[in-house]
Amino acid sequence: MSPGNGAGSSRSRSTARDIERYASLFAQRTKVMKSSAMRDLMALTERDDVISLAGGLPDTSTFPPDCYASLMSTVAADSCARALQYGPTEGLSVLKRCIAEVMGAEGMEIDDDELLVTTGGQQVIDLVCKTLLDPGDVVVAEAPTYPGAVPTFCAYQAEVVQVRMDRDGMRMDELQSTLDELERRGQRPKFIYTVPNFHNPAGVTLSLERRRTLVRIAAQRELLVLEDNPYGLLRYEGTPLPTLRSLDSDFVIYASTFSKILSPGVRLGWTSAPAPILQKMNIGKQACDLCSSSISQYFVGAYFASGAWEGYVRSLIEIYRRRRDVMLDALAEQFPREASWTHPQGGLFIWATMPPYIDTTDLLARALQEHVAFVPGRAAYVDGRGGSSMRLNFSGVNEDEIREGIRRIGEVIREQVALYGTLTGTEAQRSTATGEDRLVDPAPRPAPAELAQVLRMPAKRQTRMG
Amino acid sequence: MTTVAVLKGGGSLERQVSLKSGARVQDALERLGHQVIPIDVGADLVHQLMAGRPEVAFVALHGRDGEDGTVQELLEAMGIPYTGSGVSACIRAADKVLAKHAMRDRGIPTPDFFAFNETAFEGLGAAQALPAIQERLAFPIVVKPAGQGSALGIKFARTPADVPAALVAAFSYDRKVLLERHITGRDLAVSILDEDGVPTTLPIVEAVPEQEDFYDFESRYEIGRTRFVCPAELAQAVRDRASQLALEVYELLGCSGFARVDLMLERETDELYVLEVNSIPGLTETSLLPQAADAAGIGFDALIGRIVDSALPVA
């Protein structure tokens, strides 16, 4: 029924006057949406001739097609009628067994009745908001936060308060002072939203000490924590850390997904939460979509029964680790010394921050002329911060494209750094990333000659134009 | 029945708006009984035009290549009549600096400005002239890329310290930028439509931002964040003056078919200033030209029909 989208007669009625008439019917919550200019810019990043480091896509190209075909045959042979049928809202037990395996791999035990199967991890965020938030309620999130959560928070008219991070994740001192300040104002946040492992978009991981502090703060203040953990199994270095849920299950709502370890196309995620909350979320899900796809649930069930899932995750880890390393090397080689970026131990993203005079939304417009794209940092904030940062994805494109994409972005950044230096008459080199959205200090970089040796690349490549 | 190629999309930053404009134009043309060839403009444009052999091209492109005379030149070369302004008017309207110089030379009021190429800063030391420029324009100053049609890249500089970053941003879109005196006041748009070859103004649209004194250009033309009043509530003298200025600029730049002229009515002085001319204004459901036409009793289909007719050679 959306005006202007239909064919024929409905489109013919969509004059400005009609739109205004519909607009007067729109709920308040529709008014908090991203500007159309930004939306239009992001749409250009999807063009075929653009190397897009903007997506958050896992690489599904290595999943064997014959495996897919045989799994679907198994579903057809064993559970055709049931796969084509509605299922229970909380999910099929065949899928819950798979979830228990995945959670087991991250050191958690779970019973069937503690789980709610959802349509992707994204639905968990929506259901938590639906269950807990009245308009004006406070949600505490990281700064930056997962860009995909922002529209959900906004749709429920939450007041989002963002707490800064550093290389060890959300800063607990700042969280405490934020909560104190909210208390003074008589506002009690409903939940703290966090992506503790390989944060999207920041790429950092919450340290063990901070995990313990966070669950303690939540218990003391009787606040919920929404632990969003889509990437936990995609670790490329370092030791796995316990999930918040395994440290304290009383105040933690846990969310995860099959999207990053198998396929976002199956649209399956899950949550476990304290029973009263889970019950309300179940009712919320009924209202939303009755149940998640039975076909998908049987498909994933058959896949796990084949015993292939852990091997596949290991193969993804190998691919993504190499891509991450290629991107980190390219950043060191191509980005100017004024920039800084995070070093993710896993996941899909690197967060890079420029000096404060560079606006990454405008930089994206310039980068698109060179056929390369990233996500401007503003998308990860609700308050206009993030203007000098960008999210770079390394999972969705191959190694050559990562090298070339970073080379092109580096070139336009250097161009702007030089221009700023000319405009201000200062040595721009001294003005490093100092913005609010900077998470790490610029790394000391080897001299170009040493770098060339380390990377076995000709030094002249740094200045090559293309 | 006429065979009409609708040129839309393209690679400019305004691609999405153009796709919406193009889709609505296509529907209108079909309802009017024309045969439509939709073309998402890309490397195969000439090939598609040669294959489709349209009698006329409806240019529903915005921004670079589509609105700056590039596509128009190509259509001239292929001998295909097209809607809207010709090559030279497109070049002048798309380049805000050229347009403003032409206005100033003709004595048409436009906010004071200075414009620079990147080379002026890189090779001529223009940075050292910035303090003098700032003194002559007075803050706040608006910094704009010369050739960008949408709100992207337009920045406010409230103090001298804001200017370098605003310039860096504007240069992301164009090799030429302008620094312009900011006019505080009402935001007016005068749409012009040729009627039997005679340019006629449509009712004036006023864009009223919902959040006053929030300098956010990106929300300027967005329903829900901006309220549109058409016809704008203006004194008769102001309305006449705005319409007259719009027609003067339209003719000065040599526009034809249709266009939209954006003006500011300064709060303190009640003076009108012309900001820019859009030679191919948006034709989406929230765009200002269709709103103005609607207020004049010209429905969308009739509007599109008239634009196509004005492009066809006189029989």
Query: For B119-162, what is each residue's pLDDT tens digit?
Result: 888 888 888 888 888 888 888 899 999 987 777 888 889 888 89
Q: Tens digit of pLDDT for each residue in B284-294?
A: 888 899 999 99
Least confident window among A72-76, A146-150, B310-314? B310-314
Q: B281 contacts in A (CB within 8 Å)?
A: none
Q: Which of B12, B191, B256, B278 is catalytic?
A: B278
For the record, the structure tokens of A409 come out as: 């972005």
CA-based nearest residue to A364, from A33, A39, A34? A39
- Does B16 contact chain A (CB < 8 Å)? yes
Contact B224 A31 (CB under 8 A): yes
- Does A384 contact chain B (CB < 8 Å)? no
Q: Which residues are B276's β-sheet partners?
A: B262
What share of chain A in percent tops pLDDT 90? 75
- Does B259 contact chain A (CB < 8 Å)? no
Nearest-CA distance B127 → chain A (Å): 5
The answer on pLDDT for B1 being more than 50 is yes
- Give the model's pLDDT for residue B222: 53
CA-based nearest residue to B62, from B274, B279, B287? B279
Rg of chain B (C-alpha set) = 19
What share of chain A in percent tops pLDDT 70? 86
CA-nearest residue to B160 within chain A is A424
Non-local CB neighbours of B183 within 8 Å, separated by 6+ positions: B111, B264, B266, B273
Q: B286 contacts in A (CB within 8 Å)?
A: 16, 19
- Give the model's pLDDT for residue A20: 63
For the record, the structure tokens of B296 come out as: 């004049």
For the record, the structure tokens of A116 come out as: 């709610």
CA-nearest residue to A48 within chain B is B11
Q: Helix (H) and strand (E) counts for chain A?
A: 16, 14
Contact A16 B164 (CB under 8 A): no
- Give the model's pLDDT for residue B236: 97
B221 is catalytic: yes
Contact B128 A16 (CB under 8 A): no
Q: Tens digit of pLDDT for each residue in A249-281?
A: 899 999 999 999 999 999 999 999 999 999 999
- Does B228 contact chain A (CB < 8 Å)? yes
Contact B169 A424 (CB under 8 A): no
Burial of residue B181 (number of CB atoms within 10 Å: 0-12, 13-18, 19+): middle
Interface test mutation site (partner A, options B25, B168, B227, max chain A beta carbons within 10 A): B168
What share of chain B in percent tops pLDDT 90? 73
Phi, psi of B5 (to 5 degrees): -85, 125
Q: Which of B18, B21, B85, B150 is catalytic?
A: B150
User: What is this structure's pTM?
Assistant: 0.87
Contact B164 A358 (CB under 8 A): no
- Give the model's pLDDT for residue A435: 58
What DSSP element (H or E) covers A373? strand A372-373
Q: Which of B147, B262, B287, B306 is catalytic?
A: B262
Across the range A32-47, mean pLDDT stands at 70
The answer on pLDDT for A164 being more than 60 is yes
- Give the model's pLDDT for residue A43: 80
Across the range A160-179, mean pLDDT stands at 96
CA-nearest residue to A45 within chain B is B13
The answer on pLDDT for A289 being more than 70 is yes
The answer on pLDDT for B49 being more than 70 is yes
A443 versus A140: the higher-pLDDT residue is: A140
Across the range B238-252, mean pLDDT stands at 98
Contact B290 A26 (CB under 8 A): no
3-state secondary structure A257-269: ECCCCCCHHHCCE
Q: Tens digit of pLDDT for each residue in B167-198?
A: 999 999 999 999 999 999 999 999 999 998 89
Give the confidence band of A1 by pLDDT, cuts at 50, 70, 90.
Answer: very low
- Does B207 contact chain A (CB < 8 Å)? no
What type of residue is A15?
Answer: T
B150 is catalytic: yes
Quote the CA–CA distance of A11 and A27 in Å, as a whole number.
22
Torsion of CA A229, A233, A236, A237, to 10 degrees: 80
Quote the CA–CA distance of B69 and B250 in Å, as a whole number.
16
The answer on pLDDT for B248 being more than 60 is yes
Contact A419 B167 (CB under 8 A): yes
CB B220 within 8 A of CB B226: yes
Nearest-CA distance A41 → chain B (Å): 6
Q: Tens digit of pLDDT for each residue in A61-111?
A: 989 999 999 999 999 999 999 999 999 999 999 999 999 999 999 999 999
Contact A420 B168 (CB under 8 A): yes
- Give the model's pLDDT for residue B220: 54
Across the range A26-39, mean pLDDT stands at 67
Nearest-CA distance B153 → chain A (Å): 6
- Give the model's pLDDT for residue A427: 56
- Does B40 contact chain A (CB < 8 Å)? no
To the nearest 10 degrees (0 to 180), the angle between helices A36-44 and A360-369 is 30
Give the confidence band of B260 by pLDDT, cuts at 50, 70, 90.
Answer: very high
Alpha-carbon separation of residue B42 from A52, A412, B46 (angstroms) = 19, 24, 9
A319 versus A11: the higher-pLDDT residue is: A319
- Does B171 contact chain A (CB < 8 Å)? yes
The answer on pLDDT for A429 being more than 60 is no
- Give the model's pLDDT for residue A440: 73
- Does A423 contact chain B (CB < 8 Å)? yes
Contact B150 A419 (CB under 8 A): no
Contact B287 A4 (CB under 8 A): no
- Chain B, 183 to 202: residues with Cβ < 8 Å from chain A are none
The answer on pLDDT for A10 being more than 80 is no
- Give the model's pLDDT for residue B259: 97
B260 is catalytic: yes
Contact B228 A16 (CB under 8 A): yes
- Give the model's pLDDT for residue B212: 53
Quote the CA–CA distance of A336 and A297 in Å, as a whole number.
47
- Give the model's pLDDT for residue A451: 38
CA-nearest residue to A49 within chain B is B11
Contact A365 B291 (CB under 8 A): no
Across the range B229-257, mean pLDDT stands at 97
What share of chain B in percent tops pLDDT 70? 94
Give the confidence band of A450 by pLDDT, cuts at 50, 70, 90.
Answer: very low
CB A227 within 8 A of CB A255: yes
Quote the CA–CA distance of A53 and A335 in Å, as a whole number.
15
Across the range B270-278, mean pLDDT stands at 96
For the record, the structure tokens of A373 come out as: 């794209």
Strands annotated E in A235-314 = 252-257, 269-272
If you average pLDDT over every residue of chain A, what do you get? 88
CB A222 within 8 A of CB A171: no
Concatenated DSSP letters of chain B: --EEEEEE--SSTTHHHHHHHHHHHHHHHHHTT-EEEEEE-STTHHHHHHHH--SEEEE---STTTTSSHHHHHHHHHT--BSS--HHHHHHHH-HHHHHHHHHHHT-----EEEEEHHHHHHS-GGGGHHHHHHHH-SSEEEEETT--SSTT-EEESSGGGHHHHHHHHTTT-SEEEEEEPPPEEEEEEEEEEETTEEEEPPPEEEEESSTT---GGGTT-BTTEEEESS----HHHHHHHHHHHHHHHHHHT--SEEEEEEEEETTT--EEEEEEESS---STT-HHHHHHHHTT--HHHHHHHHHHHHSPP-
Give the confidence band of A24 by pLDDT, cuts at 50, 70, 90.
Answer: confident
Nearest-CA distance B130 → chain A (Å): 9
Peptide bond between residue A135 and the one before it cis (omega within 30 degrees of 0)? no
B162 is catalytic: no
Q: Which of B9, B260, B273, B306 is catalytic?
A: B260
B117 is catalytic: no
Give the confidence band of A55 by pLDDT, cuts at 50, 70, 90.
Answer: confident
Q: B43 contacts in A (CB within 8 Å)?
A: none
CB B66 within 8 A of CB B33: no
CA-nearest residue to A26 within chain B is B224
Nearest-CA distance A390 → chain B (Å): 15
Residue A125's CB is within 10 A of a number of other CB atoms, namely 25
> Taking the mean position of all CA atoms in its chain, how far away is CA A80?
34
For the record, the structure tokens of B33 come out as: 């009984």
Q: Tens digit of pLDDT for each residue in B64-77?
A: 889 999 999 999 99
If you average pLDDT over every residue of chain B, what do you get? 91
CB B222 within 8 A of CB B252: no
By DSSP bridging, strand A51-52 and strand A372-373 are parallel
Contact A36 B218 (CB under 8 A): yes
Residue B71's CB is within 10 A of a number of other CB atoms, namely 22
Contact B168 A423 (CB under 8 A): yes
Highest mean pLDDT among A265-269, A377-381, A455-459: A265-269
Q: Tens digit of pLDDT for each residue in B194-238?
A: 998 899 999 999 988 776 544 455 555 455 567 889 999 999 999
